[in-house]
Amino acid sequence: MCSLPTFFPFIGHGDEGLGERDRVLVIGGLILAMDSATDEPFSALFARTLACDSDWWSRRGSCCETGCTQVTVASLKGAEELISFHGAARGRRPGTALSQHMAFHVAQYSRRAGEREAR
């Protein structure tokens, strides 16, 4: 298995990242990409959705499994810092309340190098 740096399909870097996968992985090597799965409580804090484009991944032959992960921070200040990481690019939705306990729905996309893409 190979871990590639993050790439972002929603700003035009997805195919570039998948091209790198094909360059460095042997045929049959596995790529795993984690992304936001749905509009869920964490995503609701932002004016624009954090949910990924599952159709983009499907068209490129990826399988998807979803799950949930949780984060607990020591203080609301810690929650603000976590939110600001995402909020800088997405814009915080006005009037949303923060909590020290946050859940994220995640999607894990996987595909083996050398498999055909969906057309």
Residue 67 domain flag: yes
Residue 27 domain flag: no
> Over its length of 119 residues, how does the chain's per-residue pLDDT go in tens digits?
444 445 556 556 677 777 777 778 888 888 787 777 776 677 777 777 777 778 888 888 888 888 888 888 899 888 888 777 666 556 777 777 788 888 888 888 888 877 665 54
Q: How many domains does the chain have?
A: 1
Write down the pLDDT at residue 100: 86
Residue 25 domain flag: no
Residue 116 domain flag: no
Write down the pLDDT at residue 80: 82
Residue 83 domain flag: yes
User: How many angstroms separate the Cα of 89 from the Cα of each of 22, 29, 76, 83, 110?
Assistant: 29, 32, 20, 11, 26
Q: Which residue(s) pair with 107 in the sheet?
A: 35, 66
The CA-based diameter of the chain, rounded to the nearest angstrom, is: 49
Domain hosting residue 81, numbered range:
35-108
Edge to edge, the sheet with strand 101-112 lists: 30-36, 101-112, 63-72
